[in-house]
Amino acid sequence: MLHILAQKNSLLNQFIAELRDKEVQKDSLRFRKNMERIGEVFAYEISKHLDYKEKEITTPLGVSKMNIPTSKIVIATILRAGLPFHNGLLNYFDTAENAFISAHRKYHKDGSFTIQFEHLSSPDIEGKILVLSDPMLASGASMEIAYKALIERGNPKHTHIVTIIASNQGVNYVKKHINMKNVTIWAGDVDDELTSKSYIVPGLGDAGDLAFGSKM
């Protein structure tokens, strides 16, 4: 299943528009903050798909019966661009456990690249809700590597793959290379084009550099 959040107009349009806007991007604090705010929006939307149990809450004046989420959540993020997005998810899923995946593009002389997986730190994810986030789902290759590395640590009850901007190609790649049983893809927006270097067009540019500065 694929949920594209920007298909229904909301404040999210403004946040994503600011991320994409090359003038607004000059303010890296605002860029990171918008990514964080979008993480909060995603967490709120995903929370509509969790397990809930009724609980009696004692107020100063009486008792209120409320449905409270019971799902155990692990938020996993591919470094480094995803960190502000991760923070936003964690602001709302405030008792979630956390996993981090380090992977990077290794470019070859002909301009092609492969994804180099380096490191995974993760709690046990067996039976839990895995929220796997990467702000840009470009080729889909790093998402595949991250997901497959994580499920070696256990079988999640459900996985929510969350991305701010996806390419059509990336979405199709993930659907083809990951067993989609109990997996949902959430995209803020979906763009049609991917360059030969796997940058999304119009996209927003390099999310990691815009959030944290350029790298060597």
Q: Which residues bind ligand URA (CB under 6 A)?
A: 81, 136, 138, 198-200, 203, 206-208
CB of residue 165 vs ligand URA: minimum separation in angstroms?
7
CB of residue 117 vs ligand URA: minimum separation in angstroms?
16
CB of residue 25 vs ligand URA: minimum separation in angstroms?
12
Rounded to 5 degrees, φ, ψ at 163 are -145, 145
Contact 87, 36 (CB under 8 A): yes
**Which one, 159 or 198, has the nearer CB to ligand URA?**
198
CB of residue 121 vs ligand URA: minimum separation in angstroms?
22
**Which one, 81 or 90, has the nearer CB to ligand URA?**
81
**Which one, 83 or 207, has the nearer CB to ligand URA?**
207
DSSP code string of 25-67: GG-HHHHHHHHHHHHHHHHHHHGGGS-EEEEEEE-SSSEEEEE
Contact 76, 133 (CB under 8 A): yes
**Which one, 156 or 170, has the nearer CB to ligand URA?**
170
Q: Tell me, what DSSP letter sits at residue 195?
A: -
**Which one, 179 or 196, has the nearer CB to ligand URA?**
196
d(CA 34, CA 38): 6
d(CA 144, CA 177): 7
CB of residue 207 vs ligand URA: minimum separation in angstroms?
4
